[in-house]
């Protein structure tokens, strides 16, 4: 869940070797818009999913590869009792201090980049039909947009995002609003989209839209193959 911003500018430069070999789909959307719901459904249909948010969590879980450097930089007080990053504490710190955000990103971004690359290569080698990169701040990062072939934005009204995230992550409204403000506006995100998935209805409606998206990407793959 993108309740912090530690993974948001991971650059995809190492992935450029895959361009033209397999459709590269970017999947983004504001906090709580439904990116995970969409990527889970695409994964069930056979897509290769690389979730940079999940990777950011894995590397900052107990024994995660980022934890020794985080402890060294910020002190043991930013670890919880299990040895994971204390997300609430770190979120408060990076919102208050840009230099702390920078220090955190200098630790996490290279590790996220490496793992993103590894997972993409492995999925490609397995023969998945296309790759989906779930990147919460894809639009904000800029660098992803040159790499991907197709940008899918999951969208819903801000009020729906706020309600979902308050429920799911047990955050106060003001905290969710703060995160929303740090992200691109809906308008800016939608302006970059090749396709928008509206996710304000039921999960069954979302499933039907995801099925259509899957077919569309398979069609793109066919066109890519016939033009190569």
Q: 224 near 20, Cβ under 8 Å?
A: yes
Q: 22 near 46, Cβ under 8 Å?
A: no
Please say which residue, 22 or 132, places its beta carbon nearer to ligand ATP: 132
Q: How far is the CB of 19 from ligand ATP (least distance, A)?
A: 25
Please say which residue, 194 or 198, places its beta carbon nearer to ligand ATP: 198
Q: How far is the CB of 133 from ligand ATP (least distance, A)?
A: 13
Cα separation of 78 and 81, whole Å?
10
Please say which residue, 125 or 174, places its beta carbon nearer to ligand ATP: 174
Which whole-number Å values give the CA distances from 139 to 11, 30, 189, in the listed order?
12, 10, 6
Q: 124 near 47, Cβ under 8 Å?
A: no
Please say which residue, 14 or 140, places its beta carbon nearer to ligand ATP: 140
Q: How far is the CB of 163 from ligand ATP (least distance, A)?
A: 9
Q: 124 near 18, Cβ under 8 Å?
A: yes
Q: How far is the CB of 144 from ligand ATP (least distance, A)?
A: 16
Chain contacts with ligand ATP (rule: CB under 6 A): 1-2, 29, 31-37, 53, 136, 164-165, 168, 199, 202-203, 206
Please say which residue, 11 or 40, places its beta carbon nearer to ligand ATP: 40
Cα separation of 65 and 43, whole Å?
26
Q: How far is the CB of 28 from ligand ATP (least distance, A)?
A: 9
Closest by CA position to 7, among listed 106, 148, 150? 106
């Amino acid at each position: 869940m993108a309740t912090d911003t530690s993974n948001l500018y991971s650059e995809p430069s190492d992935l450029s070797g895959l361009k033209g070999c397999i459709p590269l789909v970017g999947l983004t959307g504001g906090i709580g818009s439904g990116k995970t719901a969409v990527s889970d459904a695409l994964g069930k249909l056979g897509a290769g999913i690389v979730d940079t948010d999940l990777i950011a969590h894995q590397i900052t879980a107990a024994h995660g590869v980022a934890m020794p450097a985080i402890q060294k930089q910020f002190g043991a007080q930013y670890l919880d009792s299990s040895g994971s990053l204390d997300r609430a504490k770190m979120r408060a710190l990076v919102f208050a201090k840009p230099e702390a955000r920078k220090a955190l990103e200098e630790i996490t971004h290279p590790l996220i980049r490496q793992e993103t690359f590894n997972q993409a290569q492995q999925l490609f080698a397995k023969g998945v039909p296309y790759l989906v990169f779930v990147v919460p701040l894809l639009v904000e990062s800029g660098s992803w947009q040159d790499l991907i072939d197709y940008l899918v934005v999951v969208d819903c009204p801000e009020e729906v995002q706020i309600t979902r995230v308050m429920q799911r992550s047990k955050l106060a409204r003001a905290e969710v609003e703060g995160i929303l403000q740090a992200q691109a506006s809906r308008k800016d995100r939608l302006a970059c989209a090749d396709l928008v998935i509206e996710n304000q209805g039921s999960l069954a409606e979302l499933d039907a839209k995801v099925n259509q998206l899957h077919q569309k990407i398979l069609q793109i793959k066919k066109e890519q193959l016939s033009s190569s």
